[in-house]
Amino acid sequence: MSPMTPDTAVLTEGLTKFYGSRRGIEELDLAVHAGEVMGFLGPNGAGKTTTIRLLLDFLRPTRGHAVVLGLDPRRDKAALHSRIGYLPGELTFPGRERARDLLRFLADLRGGVPWSRIGDLADRLQVDLAHPVRTMSKGNKQKVGLIQAFMHEPALLVLDEPTSGLDPLMQQEFLGMVRDARTAGQTVFMSSHVLAEVQEVADRVAIVRDGRLAAVERVESLGRRAVRSVEIHFADPVAADEFAGLPGVSGVSVTGPVLRCTVDGRLDPLVKAAARHEVVDLLSSEPDLEETFLSFYYHSEGDRDGARADA
Amino acid sequence: MVPALMRKTWRDDRRAILGWAAGVAAFTAVYSAFYPQFQGAAELKQDALPKGVLDFLGVADFLSPAGYLQASIFGLLGPLLVLMCTVTVVARTIAVPEEGGGMELLLANPVSRTAFAGQRLAAAGLAVTAVAAIPWLLLMVIVPAVDMDIPLSSVAAAGFGLVALAWCFGGLAFLVGAATGRRASVLAVTGIVAVATYMANAVSGMAQGWSWLRWWSPFHYFLGTDPLRTGWHPGSLLVLVLAGAVAVVAGVILFDRRDVGV
């Protein structure tokens, strides 16, 4: 067992969970530093929620162990959970009460939270707490879930897919809350299957795939490597070989006046080349995690900073 | 000061609890208060049904006040209602929120698993006890009011027996819910055990060589001592209470050890 330093908020060593013979996660070694925002990325079914539920002691590891805020998730559950704010990935609220009464109850369980703090969070997220939670839309339920996770200003926020159901404006508001939490010295560990939303606030991201930790990267280094798929509609047909040789551009295909390709890194060379023609439309889609991940693997073997991989 | 989790449990379950309480109260009041009017009909029933059938239904006779109360309230319908209430309410301590997903938010708060299970069960247990005690409390008033000739201490013994029976099966229901987290398992196991042990108790009284079966039936410890005629039998009642307590302790231990919400 390696020593738990005060600046490590979450440490897992060889953390493994099998559900019978089905794999949850395998041999996960992960360290989240105190005060950082770490994004926890992976495709659906990769083991993100399993990891989070192990940290919260809903699940017990098959092998290995986790140390959270210096405490043992099982033995010190009550003490640990008073310092954690948790947002479940599948958010279901117990009971039929109004949101206000439910939050008051959850605050009581924590020994009391100033109501002004709950009110401030509700104002910030623009949610009316006078309605029963059961009747709320998915987005508003998610906001109530976020309020209960943030309201007691916990040392560690564990958020499972926090932006799901939020509209873009509220996603920005949420990201602001995460930044404020970091400023206040709180640690945030949030999972997502979309790189873009994590990229904006996270200091580092950990990527899981098929139950194993594939990489831990500083966000800047992932961003540089980001792959986009780009589609350009020209006024007139263009030739593919005009674009095929550009730096970072690959997978060029041309159908009449429409060019499709993927761009790894900066868009500038492609845009400059395209500008020689009359451009009707330009579509660039955010890289999905799988593409980023694959490009990460194909282009960066042996040149990762701070990365650990056991795949 | 009642813990927040217990108050929340009562708030979430209050409709079910109030519904069962009203049902059990109406049932008790109607059957017992109409004792004078049932007298004529009871004689007919007594003559119409063979002795074996009466034994199977746990009915010694319809004519005496004790026989009437046993047949109408304590023999079958009373336990049936109270146990249905017990099982459905106790299923909501762990199994129902675990299947519904609401338990994650409850468990993510600074309470240990043991304290969580204990507080949920304490809240459900108090509610179930209140419902199961309704026949006891009402009969303490109604029995003298309609001139039934039964000592009140015997009524109390039978009434408490029903409460102890609810604790016994409530313990079993809690154990199954705590161990499996599945509502269907709670209902199925507790229901099957209740029906099987009820029949075991009935059969043991009728068939030669099967009398040992009754020692395995909670219903024997509840009614086998004939509390309406013979009063209190603390030993038998203690068996029910202990069986429930053992099941509860086992349930808390198993819940503390397993994965939740898989």
**Interface list for A 76-115 with B (CB within 8 A):** 77-82, 84, 86, 88, 90-97, 105-106, 108-111
Tens of pLDDT along A224-267?
A: 556 778 999 999 999 888 898 898 888 899 998 999 998 887 88
Residues A158 and A79 in one domain: yes
CATH code of the domain containing A262: 3.30.70.2470
User: CA A57 to CA A84: how far, in whole Å?
Assistant: 12
Same domain, A65 and A167: yes
- Residue A294 in any domain: the answer is no
Q: Are residues A165 and A76 in the same domain?
A: yes
Question: What was the pLDDT predicted at A298?
Answer: 53
Nearest to A78 among B8, B105, B110 (CB): B110
Q: Is residue B202 part of a domain?
A: yes
Per the structure, the complete domain to which residue A135 belongs is given by: 92-152
Residue A295 domain-assigned (yes or no) = no
Across B63-92, average pLDDT? 92
Give residue-wise pLDDT tens across range B103-139: 999 999 999 999 999 999 999 999 999 999 999 999 9
- Is A144 in the same domain as A163? no
> Total domain count for chain B?
1
Q: Is residue A144 part of a domain?
A: yes
> What digits encode the pLDDT tens for the residues A133-181?
999 999 999 999 999 999 999 999 999 999 999 998 999 999 999 999 9
Residue A222, in any domain of the structure: no
User: Which three-class secondary structure string do you get for chain B?
Assistant: CCCHHHHHHHHHHHHHHHHHHHHHHHHHHHHHHCHHHHHHHHHHHHHHCCHHHHHHCCCCCCCCHHHHHHHHHHCCHHHHHHHHHHHHHHHCCCHHHHHHCCHHHHHCCCCCHHHHHHHHHHHHHHHHHHHHCHHHHHHHHHHHHCCCCCCHHHHHHHHHHHHHHHHHHHHHHHHHHHHHCCHHHHHHHHHHHHHHHHHHHHHHHHCCCCHHHHHHCHHHHHHCCCHHHHCCCHHHHHHHHHHHHHHHHHHHHHHHHCCCCC
pLDDT class of A305 with cuts at 50, 70, 90? very low
User: In the predicted model, what is the mean pLDDT of chain A?
Assistant: 87
pLDDT tens digits, A110-143: 988 999 999 999 999 999 999 999 999 999 999 9
Total number of domains constituting chain A:
3
Are A159 and A187 contained in the same domain? yes
Together in a domain, A25 and A48: yes
Q: Is residue B175 part of a domain?
A: yes
Give yes or no: residues A125 and A74 share one domain.
no
* Interchain CB distance below 8 Å, A148 and B105: yes
Are A196 and A272 part of one and the same domain?
no
Return the residue of A nearest to B104 by Cα.
Answer: A88
Position B157 in a domain: yes
Q: Provide the residue range defining the domain that includes B149.
A: 4-39+79-257
| Domain endpoint, select from A101, A121, A152 | A152
Q: Establish if B56 belongs to a structural domain.
A: no
Cα-based distances in Å from B256 to A250, B9, B125: 55, 20, 19
Least CB-CB distance to A81: which of B4, B102, B108? Answer: B108
- Partner B contacted by A128 (CB < 8 A): no
pLDDT score for B208: 78
Domain shared by A309 and A211, yes or no? yes
Residue B71 lies in a domain: no
**B208-252: pLDDT as tens digits:** 788 888 899 999 999 988 999 999 999 999 999 999 999 999 999
pLDDT, chain B, mean: 91
Rounded to the nearest angstrom, the minimum Cα separation between B186 and chain A is 20
Distance (Å) from the C-alpha of residue A173 to the closest C-alpha of chain B?
23
* A58 interfaces chain B, CB cutoff of 8 Å: yes
Tell me, yes or no, whether A112 and A143 share the same domain: yes
Same domain, yes or no: A270 and A141: no
Q: Is A14 in the same domain as A161?
A: yes
| pLDDT score, position A200 | 84
Residue B62 resides in a domain: no
- The answer to whether B19 contacts chain A (CB < 8 Å) is no
Domain boundary among A152, A178, A197: A152
